[in-house]
Amino acid sequence: MRRAPLHRLARPAGVRSSTVDDARLLVALEDALARLEVPLRVDAMPAEARSSGGLVRLRGAPVVIVSARASTAERIDVLARALRQLDTSALYLAPAVRARIDRD
């Protein structure tokens, strides 16, 4: 499935810009993982889990796991942290996406 670039997505009427921006950022981060061929799994995690997910290695291959209960902001944090640990130098990423990944 081909996704529209960040600059081509229109904001639906009545929706706050931060919500749309977060949704577009999440799509861009998911797309970066897909281009790196790193699977993204959304799984149920125990309620007492202290994390919303992260990058793990299963049978030596990187996989990003995100809690099914994670909010959009938490998912963005998990994916950005995971991408920070991967080599994204060969990928073109929009400046806002690159800045979010590089942010501490």
64 in any annotated domain = yes
pLDDT of residue 47: 80
pLDDT of residue 15: 40
pLDDT tens digit string along 18-40? 556 999 999 999 999 999 999 99
The three-state secondary structure class of 31 is helix
Mean pLDDT on 79-92: 96
47 in any annotated domain = yes
Based on the structure, what is the number of domains in the chain? Answer: 1
Domain range for 63 is 39-104
17 in any annotated domain = no
Instruction: Count the Cβ atoms, other than its own, within 10 Å of residue 57.
Output: 8
Question: Dihedral of CA 21/26/28/29: which sign?
Answer: positive
Count the alpha carbons within 13 Å of 66 in the hemisphere toward its beta carbon: 24
pLDDT of residue 17: 47
Q: Which amino acid is at 97?
A: V
By percentage, how much of the chain surpasses pLDDT 90? 72
Q: Are strands 40-43 and 61-67 parallel, antiparallel or unpaired?
A: parallel
Band of residue 1 on the pLDDT scale cut at 50, 70, 90: very low
